Amino acid sequence: MTIIIQLLVLALVVLSIILVIGVPVTLASPGQWEKSKNLVYTSIGVWIGLVIITGVLNSFIV
């Protein structure tokens, strides 16, 4: 079970780094926001899901 939590946290950290770099670049680039809007929103939804799933599964570890 702890390996699953560690993999979820790793995925959360990697996705967080990608979002921290990617969202400002997308917003600063002219015309890129309209092209990448759905990808950004989907990535944010996945990030929120990872936070919730990691928190729920972490509550089962003693």
Q: Would you say the C-alpha torsion 57, 58, 61, 62 has a positive or negative sign?
A: negative
Asked whether residue 43 carries a pLDDT value surpassing 80, the answer given is yes
- pTM of the full predicted structure? 0.86
State the pLDDT confidence band at 53, using cuts at 50, 70 and 90.
very high
**Can you read off the two tokens belonging to residue 25?**
């670049």
Asked whether residue 62 carries a pLDDT value surpassing 90, the answer given is no
Give 9's Cβ-side CA count (13 Å radius).
10
Fold of 2-58: Helix Hairpins (1.10.287)
Domain parsing of the chain, residue ranges: 2-58
The residues, ordered by sequence, that sit 6+ positions from 27 with a Cβ below 8 Å of its Cβ are 33
**Residue pLDDT, tens place only, 4-30:** 999 999 999 999 999 999 999 999 999
Question: How far is 39 from 24, CA to CA, in rounded Å?
Answer: 14
